[in-house]
Amino acid sequence: MNRAFIAIAVLVGAIGIVAADLGASTRLNPYAAPPLLALGSGLAASGAHCSAPPQ
């Protein structure tokens, strides 16, 4: 076994997580997506970050 096997297994696992999640989460809608850049969008930042306490 070499590093290629491990690296490919990790990537397949990550793709698997995303694929499984696509079926279980809210349907994607690119037309409701926020603007390309948060800066200048006029919208409040809404993403989640590890430094933010739960709110």
Partner 1 sequence: MTDQSLPLSGRFGLYSLRAGLVLATLLAAFVVAALAGARYGLLLLIGLGFGMALEGFRFGFAGPWRAMILRREPAGILAQLLAIALVAVVAFPLLGNATGELTGAHAPVGFAMIGGAFVFGAAMQVVLGCGSGTLVNAGSGNAVGALALPFFAIGSFLGSLHLGWWTGLGSAPLVVFSGGTGLAITLVALALVAILVIWLGVPGGARLPRRLILAALAIAALALANLVVAGQPWGVVYGLGLWVAKGVQGAGVDLSANPFWAAPGNAERLASSLLTDVTSLTNLGILAGAFLIAAWRRGLSARLPELPVRAWGAVIIAGLLLGYSSRLAFGCNVGAFFSGISTGSLHGWAWFVAAFAGSYYGIRLRPLLGLEARS
Length of the chain: 55
Pairwise CA distance, residues 31 & 37, whole Å: 15
Compute how many residues bind partner 1; rule: CB under 8 A: 45
Token code pair at residue 45: 């930042």
- Residue 10 near partner 1 by CB under 8 A: yes
- Residue 38 near partner 1 by CB under 8 A: yes
Pairwise CA distance, residues 53 & 47, whole Å: 13
- Residue 12 near partner 1 by CB under 8 A: no
User: What are the residues binding partner 1 (CB under 8 A)?
Assistant: 1-7, 9-11, 14, 17-18, 20-22, 24-26, 28, 30, 32-55
